[in-house]
Amino acid sequence: MLPAWAAQWMWEDPRRIPYLLAWKHRRQRTWSDAVRITRLRPKTHLPEADAVEITRTDGSIVPIYLAWPSQPKGGRILLLKCWRCQKPCRALYGWKIGDDGRYYKAVLGDWQCRRCAELRYSSEGGALVIRGGIMSRILRHSLPNYSPPRPDNWLPYVFTSLDDASEAFSGG
């Protein structure tokens, strides 16, 4: 997940330097992905032309346009535009649903909204409740429903310095 707040930190930094965003694997606590986010120089001074560039470790580059809607009590907030549907979102996702014929699996995507990436929350459809139903029938014994803990958000670590990033990466 690429949250808009991370892009806003980079956008509002007066040094105008690129930021490094990195994600740790949830279970193994190893680094699983990293991207560089930089400002794109607009050819015009219109706010609709504001954009950032996301560069992955494999060299792929995706430009993301920014939206600055006004807030009801004044001010404005940064949202990221999905490149497919052009809808402003609070976060974009670097993975999408792939189909290998029998199963759906997550595959690398081009930073799009949750709907365009066809991603679903684990709580949709009762996936967070393991029901005792079929096991109760097989064992002929009533088993209670079990609710495992809700998964954590997978937010990036944000680095403004390569020294800080290399220290974090070497520390595991």
Contact 97, 104 (CB under 8 A): yes
pLDDT band, residue 107 (cuts 50/70/90): confident
pLDDT(129) > 60 = no
pLDDT tens, residue by residue, 10-61: 999 999 999 999 988 777 778 888 999 999 876 666 666 789 999 999 999 9
Instruction: Specify the pLDDT at position 15.
Output: 92
**Would you list the DSSP string of the chain?**
-EEHHHHHHHHH-TT---EEEEEE-TTT--EEEEEEEEE---SS--GGG-EEEEEETTS-EEEEEEE-PBPTTSSB--EEEPTTT--EESEEEEEEEEE-SS-EEEEEEEEE-TTTTT---TTGGGTT-B--HHHHHHHTS----B-PPPPPP-PPEEES-HHHHHHHHHT-
Q: Is position 161 within any domain?
A: no
In a domain? residue 59: yes
57 within some domain: yes
| Domain tally, the chain | 1
Question: pLDDT tens across 136-169, in order?
Answer: 656 666 666 656 555 566 788 899 988 888 888 7
**pLDDT of 54:** 93
The predicted-structure confidence for 73-105, as pLDDT tens digits, reads as follows 988 899 999 989 999 999 999 888 877 656 667
Which domain covers residue 33, as residue numbers? 1-92
Edge-first strand order for the sheet with 2-3 is 2-3, 91-99, 104-112
Cα–Cα dist 134/13, whole Å: 55
Asked whether residue 136 is domain-assigned, the answer is: no
Share above pLDDT 70 across residues of the chain, in percent, rounded to a whole number:
72
pLDDT computed for residue 154 by the predictor: 75
